[in-house]
Chain A
Amino acid sequence: MIASHSVLRRPLLAAVIGASCAVPVLAHADINPEFFGYARSGIGSTSGGGSQTCFKAAGAPAKYRLGNECETYAEIGLGAQLYQQQDATFDFASRVAYVTAQDNDDESLKDDDNNVALREMYVSGNNVVGGLPGATLWAGKRFYKRHDIHMNDYYYWDLSGPGVGISDIDVGTGKLSFAWVRSSGSDVDYLPDEDQRLSDDTIDVRWTDIPVNPGGSLQLGVDYGRASLPDWQKDYYDDRGVDYDEGDKGWMGTIEHTQSGWFGGTNTVALQYATDGIITSDGNAVGRASGSLQQEGDMWRILDQGHVWLVQDKLDMLYTAIYENKDMDDNTGRKWFSAGVRPVYYWNDIMSTAVELGYDHIEPQSNVSSYNDSDHHLTKLTIAQQWSAGRGAMIRPTIRLFATYAKWNGDAYLDRDAEGYRQANSLDTGAGPNNVDFDDTDGLTFGAQMEVWWGS
């Protein structure tokens, strides 16, 4: 497929020749670092005492985020264009992500909830493959064409990780992209040592930018994933009579339509179907092999999201609706319905008032035991006063003051387990501090947060 030696060789040769005599020039003159990233951080309290509780329905893969984020999260990216000759370019990019619990000044990686993760480290070459003008060859670990819903921080198609691929090949009608991406799973039930990871491979093929109607564009994608077992792992499972044939592989298909010029914004509708090993057992189901050995079932999902201007330059709105049915053979799946709106009124270029109303409904299958095993739902309402560098839903930086009220059915948490930790019931316990009471059915928080993204 990558039949490109003639063109590929030329810039490489030039680079080799260049490197022998022009190193000082490259080092001092030609590298213009690009600094990019994203960050959010703040402070909050739960009314009644304690730090900010973040409200997420137990079993839901996402929560509505405005005034409902309890952590400091940052991505710091550095990159540079390293080579350019006519149309051919080579670019380097890296990204480190930081998460801290927002408890303290000095937050160490030794503490729970804190993490530093190397998320990206890759090189991409644009116009370096002969016969494929405009295409990009890349290798390394990266965020790969992620599809998300901003309002609830929900990633529904996310093939990120170490990989290699060639993307955006112009095929006349739209563009084709191919990628091979690695993730890993650990099967702590069977493998003797959890470090003995299962290697999962996912192959991703996408046909994007297919024009179907004025301002409308379609994309189709198929992901096939499987756990790649070496002989010693197969022998290990064979000895124990574990059937690893079905659960260790699966595929996901995605059809997505994006409409621009939609009330001054865009609308995106996506339909997805996934089977067996590619279904993430909890959290976001993204189309990446999950590392589960015996996971069998299927999942389908439909979602719609968008951004519209209701009154130009005065009032805009983010909105989303999601329905997902995860039907697992062992009855550990669930149905999830979610809907939310975030209208924002702009008083002037800087100050705005945002309201976010979000609703999540979970209907667990019969064998769910890790949270409230009957239907439960959560509604959250946030009002925030914001100061931003301009008007628009995605304009940052923003500093906001917020108050968030949430209401749910059923007790918030179950009694502490043997280790003394609260257990999820109607509320997820992992979304931040758990400072509402065990049997509370509503809660109120308030605080301040900044959010920023930047890049050259």
Chain B
Amino acid sequence: MLSSYRFAVPLSTLLFALAGCSTPLMAPQSPTIPAHQGQQALASTADCCASLASLPYQPISAQETLTLDFTPPAPVHDFGDGKSFFRAFELPHNDGPVAISVTSPVQDGQVFAPTILVLDAAFQPVRKVSSDSLQVHRPTGFSTARLEGQFSLTPGPDAQYLVIYSSDRDRQAATQYESEEKAYARVRGLAEPPGPDPRAVHAPTGTITLEITARTGDAGQTPLTAAAPSPALRPAPSGSQGAPATASAPASAAANDTADFDYRRMIDAALKAGDVELALELAERAERSGHPGTRAWLANKLQARKP
């Protein structure tokens, strides 16, 4: 009697606990491409675009978290300081200042060390954040070691596009970080485990998380001169390319013309880079932003491409 009680409680507790087996909380990570294979893939991919102006820019809203693969079939361009897989974005219009956060995790001993390039409306570089100014974080529990950078900017004519790539200089460096064992020893006052810190090579391919957040979170921070309502008061921004509804009619028409042109140019660039998915997405966005006919125009182009 006693002995059955003695075992019943802990065993039932454990059985109950075992029954709680759940699925992993994290989605499986995409497999890592070894650095030399990534290098081959990069070398064998043609430059998508003649200039910065013709990169396939993907519009983003002021409130988005994107997981970006810098692996084929991502487009490739030679940026002067290095040929690289890249992703290019058009920053939201009239949404006020935004905070941009870039996180590049170390996977299987390698990391994509990004340079973040900001271009003005004329596609001229105005700001460049290279990977050596990013912070290195040691692994903690779920999170692997990673490079992280945060900065803020106010999209507008002086800062309209964002490009993420990896320059030759980025790739020549490596990232060294404190191992979890060393961190534990430091925190507990133990002798430091011998051996060098782990080192991640800077690979030509990888995956990055890009997070963009509107900084005008409340009405009190909204610039007084803003013609548009505060982003917080609007429905979720759709990354609209068109002029705000409150703009005057002539301005709106002009903006529409430009926007129409921009969309078709960007779709062209996307097609040239072989990114049909992006082209379709751009066409959808154009339709939603008041440019009827873009979808049909794209369909014609795709038709024409077929033999």
Known: A258-B194, A349-B26. A385 touches B183 (CB 8 A): no
Chain A residues within 8 Å of B183, by CB: 455
Known: A47-B6, A389-B141. A401 touches B190 (CB 8 A): no
Chain B residues within 8 Å of A148, by CB: 190
Assembled-state Cα–Cα distance A402/B181 (Å): 25
Kindly provide the distance from the CB of A140 to the nearest chain B CB, expressed in whole angstroms.
13
B151 is an interface residue with CB less than 8 A from chain A: no
A positions within 8 Å CB-CB of B: 36-38, 47-48, 75, 77, 95, 120, 142-148, 157, 160, 208-209, 215, 217, 219, 258, 260, 266, 347-351, 353, 383, 385, 388-390, 392, 394-396, 401-403, 444, 446, 453-455
Chain A residues within 8 Å of B227, by CB: none
Q: Is the CB of A348 within 8 A of B23?
A: yes
Q: Is the CB of A454 within 8 A of B180?
A: no
Assembled-state Cα–Cα distance A401/B18 (Å): 11
Known: A348-B22, A385-B14, A403-B10. A453 touches B188 (CB 8 A): yes
Known: A348-B23, A351-B21, A390-B141. A95 touches B189 (CB 8 A): yes
Chain B residues within 8 Å of A47, by CB: 5-7, 9-10
Assembled-state Cα–Cα distance A143/B186 (Å): 10
Chain A residues within 8 Å of B20, by CB: 351
- Nearest chain-B residue to A119 (Cβ)? B189
B11 is an interface residue with CB less than 8 A from chain A: yes
Q: Is the CB of B180 within 8 A of A392?
A: yes
Chain B residues within 8 Å of A157, by CB: 191
B226 is an interface residue with CB less than 8 A from chain A: no
List 28 A-B residue pairs with CB atoms under 8 Å apart, sorted by A's residue number. Answer: A47-B6, A48-B6, A77-B187, A95-B189, A144-B189, A145-B190, A146-B188, A146-B190, A147-B190, A208-B191, A219-B194, A260-B194, A260-B195, A266-B193, A347-B21, A348-B21, A349-B142, A351-B22, A353-B18, A388-B141, A389-B141, A392-B180, A402-B10, A403-B10, A444-B6, A446-B9, A446-B10, A453-B184
- Nearest chain-A residue to B139 (Cβ)? A390
Q: Is the CB of A349 within 8 A of B24?
A: yes
Most buried by B among A160, A349, A454: A349
Chain B residues within 8 Å of A390, by CB: 140-142
Known: A217-B194, A217-B195, A392-B180. A446 touches B23 (CB 8 A): no
B245 is an interface residue with CB less than 8 A from chain A: no
Assembled-state Cα–Cα distance A351/B23 (Å): 10
Chain A residues within 8 Å of B186, by CB: 455
B17 is an interface residue with CB less than 8 A from chain A: yes
Which of A142, A160, A266, A455 is in CB contact (< 8 Å) with B187?
A: A455
Most buried by A among B18, B20, B21, B191: B191
Chain A residues within 8 Å of B13, by CB: 401, 403, 446
B2 is an interface residue with CB less than 8 A from chain A: yes
Assembled-state Cα–Cα distance A306/B17 (Å): 28
Q: Is the CB of A209 within 8 A of B194?
A: yes
- Nearest chain-B residue to A168 (Cβ)? B192
Segment 129-146 of B: residues with Cβ below 8 Å from A:
140-142
Q: Is the CB of B9 within 8 A of A401?
A: no
B25 is an interface residue with CB less than 8 A from chain A: yes
Assembled-state Cα–Cα distance A418/B20 (Å): 51
Give the total of B residues in contact with A, Cβ under 8 Å: 35
Assembled-state Cα–Cα distance A111/B9 (Å): 31
Q: A260-B194, A455-B183 are in contact. List 6 more A-B contacts (CB 8 A).
A: A47-B7, A146-B188, A348-B23, A403-B11, A454-B187, A455-B187
B positions within 8 Å CB-CB of A: 2, 5-7, 9-11, 13-14, 17-18, 20-26, 140-142, 180-181, 183-184, 186-195
Kindly provide the distance from the CB of A196 to the nearest chain B CB, expressed in whole angstroms.
30
Chain B residues within 8 Å of A353, by CB: 18
Assembled-state Cα–Cα distance A353/B6 (Å): 21
Kindly provide the distance from the CB of A342 to the nearest chain B CB, expressed in whole angstroms.
16
Q: Is the CB of A143 within 8 A of B23?
A: no
Chain B residues within 8 Å of A401, by CB: 13-14, 17
Q: Is the CB of B21 within 8 A of A143?
A: no
Assembled-state Cα–Cα distance A395/B141 (Å): 6
Assembled-state Cα–Cα distance A68/B21 (Å): 25
Kindly provide the distance from the CB of B2 to the nearest chain A CB, expressed in whole angstroms.
7
Chain A residues within 8 Å of B184, by CB: 394, 453
Q: Is the CB of B18 within 8 A of A36?
A: no
Q: Is the CB of B193 within 8 A of A258?
A: yes
Q: Is the CB of A142 within 8 A of B194?
A: no
Kindly provide the distance from the CB of B42 to the nearest chain A CB, expressed in whole angstroms.
29
Known: A146-B189, A148-B190. A348 touches B25 (CB 8 A): yes
Kindly provide the distance from the CB of A179 to the nearest chain B CB, expressed in whole angstroms.
12
Assembled-state Cα–Cα distance A432/B266 (Å): 71
Chain A residues within 8 Å of B26, by CB: 349
Q: Is the CB of B194 within 8 A of A147?
A: no
Chain A residues within 8 Å of B191, by CB: 145-147, 157, 208
Assembled-state Cα–Cα distance A209/B195 (Å): 7
Assembled-state Cα–Cα distance A95/B180 (Å): 21
Assembled-state Cα–Cα distance A157/B17 (Å): 38
Most buried by A among B2, B180, B190, B194: B194
Chain B residues within 8 Å of A389, by CB: 140-142
Chain A residues within 8 Å of B11, by CB: 403
Chain A residues within 8 Å of B22, by CB: 348, 350-351
Assembled-state Cα–Cα distance A160/B191 (Å): 11
- Nearest chain-B residue to A445 (Cβ)? B10
- Nearest chain-A residue to B13 (Cβ)? A401
Q: Is the CB of B10 within 8 A of A444?
A: yes
Chain A residues within 8 Å of B181, by CB: 266, 394
Which of A37, A208, A349, A385 is in CB contact (< 8 Å) with B194?
A: A208
Chain B residues within 8 Å of A219, by CB: 194
Chain A residues within 8 Å of B194, by CB: 208-209, 217, 219, 258, 260
Assembled-state Cα–Cα distance A360/B180 (Å): 30
Assembled-state Cα–Cα distance A354/B116 (Å): 44
Assembled-state Cα–Cα distance A62/B281 (Å): 64
Assembled-state Cα–Cα distance A142/B186 (Å): 12
Chain B residues within 8 Å of A37, by CB: 187
Going nearest first, the 9 A-B pairs with the smallest beta carbon separation are A143-B189, A389-B141, A403-B10, A455-B187, A217-B194, A446-B10, A385-B17, A390-B141, A47-B6
Kindly provide the distance from the CB of A330 to the nearest chain B CB, expressed in whole angstroms.
33
Chain B residues within 8 Å of A260, by CB: 193-195
